[in-house]
Amino acid sequence: MILDGKKVRDEILAKIKAKIAKEKLDIKLAIILVGDDEASKIYIKNKEKYCDMVGIAVEKYKLSSETEEKEIINLIDKLNNDESVTGIILQSPVPEGIDFNKCSNLIKPEKDVDGFTKNNIYYLYLGKKTVLPCTVKGIIKLLEYYKIPISGANVVIVGRGNIVGHPLSLAFENMDATVTLAHSKTQNLAEITKNADILISATGVKHLITKDMVKYGSTVIDVGVTRVDGKIYGDVDFENIKDIARYITPNPGGVGPMTVAMIIDNLVEMEERKNG
């Protein structure tokens, strides 16, 4: 069965749109873009599109690549203290000479839409309530939508990056899964992945996961994105695995749409917490 990220995204956004209208929620996202990174502009447009769709206001702060760190720090401070701002995103990457981690860590945890500031990651480490990083939350919501049990499952995650693999391993541990985190130095990867009830690959290595690495009847989630000649490939050899796995994400069309939906979901959660 295909885990249809687009369908689930659309359902989640439709529910959120109705909720925002019914409860008259006044949600505002502030996005800070420093410099002229073209990919960032596309990501921001996408975020704006979905915010607009559900009735969330977006305030964009476009700063030139010559902007000094102090100016960004002052802006974050102003937005942190602005009651009308629900969430803040400092778009990565920032120009050379600006310390992204230093600046983004100044965003208040309760306004940290991406869930990557040190406080929120620490809460995740402690197993406390936190703002989950959007891809991590999107994967969990997708599994929950299709009623795939996480508690007690043998979960293998390939890739220990800070954006996906590492925080995902913590989130699954917190949900009582038994987690193995594999990476480029892992020996006998296929022996490990073949034991997975849920196999998640987040490496960016095209078709790393082949059919001999997958357990019959398992769930396979493909996070990786590799672009070759304008075409997108995932980490998973979908065509040869779709009949072995019981559940599998397409790529594109699986985790990607869920990630965007979770930005919106996090903003609604933050607004609700703000209002007690």
Minimum Å distance from CB 205 to ligand NAP? 5
Q: Is residue 5 a contact point for ligand NAP (CB under 6 A)? A: no
| The two three-digit tokens of residue 44, written as one number | 């921001």
- Using the rule CB under 6 A, which residue among 163, 192, 232, 244 binds ligand NAP? 163
Active centre residues (catalytic): 47, 91, 114
Nearer to ligand NAP, 160 or 215 (CB): 160
Nearer to ligand NAP, 37 or 272 (CB): 37
CB distance 159 to 171 below 8 Å: no
CA distance 120 to 109: 6
Q: Is residue 167 a contact point for ligand NAP (CB under 6 A)? A: no
- Using the rule CB under 6 A, which residue among 87, 115, 167, 256 binds ligand NAP? 256
Output the residue with the shortest Cβ distance to ligand NAP. 161
Stretch that binds ligand NAP, among 21-29, 31-39, 236-244, 252-260 (CB under 6 A): 252-260
Minimum Å distance from CB 162 to ligand NAP? 6
- Using the rule CB under 6 A, which residue among 204, 240, 246, 272 binds ligand NAP? 204
Q: Is residue 253 a contact point for ligand NAP (CB under 6 A)? A: no
Q: Is residue 91 a contact point for ligand NAP (CB under 6 A)? A: no
Stretch that binds ligand NAP, among 38-46, 101-109, 217-225, 267-275 (CB under 6 A): 217-225
Q: Is residue 225 a contact point for ligand NAP (CB under 6 A)? A: yes
Minimum Å distance from CB 21 to ligand NAP? 27
- Using the rule CB under 6 A, which residue among 9, 28, 47, 160 binds ligand NAP? 160
Q: Is residue 192 a contact point for ligand NAP (CB under 6 A)? A: no
Other Cβ atoms less than 10 A from the Cβ of 57: the count is: 14
Q: Is residue 205 a contact point for ligand NAP (CB under 6 A)? A: yes
Stretch that binds ligand NAP, among 61-69, 118-126, 192-200, 223-231 (CB under 6 A): 223-231
CA distance 167 to 236: 21
Q: Is residue 141 a contact point for ligand NAP (CB under 6 A)? A: no
Alpha carbon 66 to its chain centroid, in Å, reads 29
- Give the chain as a 3 state SS string: CECCHHHHHHHHHHHHHHHHHHHCCCCEEEEEEECCCHHHHHHHHHHHHHHHHHCCEEEEEEECCCCCHHHHHHHHHHHHCCCCCCEEEECCCCCCCCCHHHHHCCCCHHHECCCCCHHHHHHHHHCCCCCCCHHHHHHHHHHHHCCCCCCCCEEEEECCCCCCHHHHHHHHHHCCCEEEEECCCCCCHHHHHCCCCEEEECCCCCCCECHHHCCCCCEEEECCCEEECCEEECCECHHHHCCCCCEECCCCCCHHHHHHHHHHHHHHHHHHHHCC
In the range 112-131, which residues lie near ligand NAP by CB under 6 A? Answer: none
User: Which residues contact ligand NAP by CB under 6 A?
Assistant: 135, 158-165, 182-186, 202-205, 208, 223-225, 255-256, 259
